[in-house]
Amino acid sequence: MTTVIQEKRDALDKDGQQYQQQLLAEYRLPILNLKLKMENVQPSARGDAEKLNEQLQALTKERDEKIAAREKANQEALQEFQKAQIQQSNGELAALSAQFNTDGQRLVDARAAEITARVRAQLEATQAEFNRRLRGQQEAIVHSAREAQSQAVAQAQAQARAETEQGWPRSASGTSCSPRRSPRRARSTPPTSSSPASGDKGRPA
């Protein structure tokens, strides 16, 4: 901004100098003529000398006022230009600040999202590891219970087979605990032929 304002100031200074040179050239002859007339006025014509002097003063004043007016206009133009440049710079700074805030907020949001995603991933990984270990423990417990159950069943089956092979278990007195059979009825034995006949009774031996 400083360079632009300096360039504008230099341009206005150059304009003021050119305008001043132009007016000096424009008023040089009229002023010179009045001065020559004043030199040629007779001392007795005092009134004419005063009149010519008034004209010279008025012409010089007119020239100087024009130069001053141009200088004032250039100064006002420079001030307006500086004001416009400052406003433009302020606007650009405000836009840059807003853009910076937006970019900064976007960067903060992106960073926060990145951190959130990383933390979520870590939590999910931790939860997954915990679930894996929990499933492993549960499977180990189930496997151990099944093995214990299988061993108990195998032992029961082995004991049953052993008892079957050895027969019924004996009582403490050593007698068999097998169920008793019902006693059979005694058959009637028919008389043999050697028995003496009834008609032989009284036969002498």
CB 76 within 8 A of CB 37: no
Taking only the tens place, the pLDDT of each residue in 5-34 is 899 999 999 999 999 999 999 999 999 999
> Distance between CA 195 and CA 182 in Å, rounded?
34
CB 168 within 8 A of CB 176: yes
Cβ atoms within 10 Å of 188's Cβ, excluding its own = 5
Taking only the tens place, the pLDDT of each residue in 95-142 is 988 988 888 888 888 888 988 898 889 889 988 988 888 888 888 888
pLDDT number for residue 75:
95
CB 31 within 8 A of CB 56: yes
93 CB-contact burial (10 Å; exposed 0-12 / middle 13-18 / buried 19+): exposed
pLDDT number for residue 26:
95
pLDDT number for residue 204:
46
pLDDT number for residue 57:
95
Taking only the tens place, the pLDDT of each residue in 152-175 is 888 888 888 888 888 655 544 445
> Distance between CA 22 and CA 38 in Å, rounded?
25
Three-class DSSP labels, 36-71: HHHHHCCCCCHHHHHHHHHHHHHHHHHHHHHHHHHH
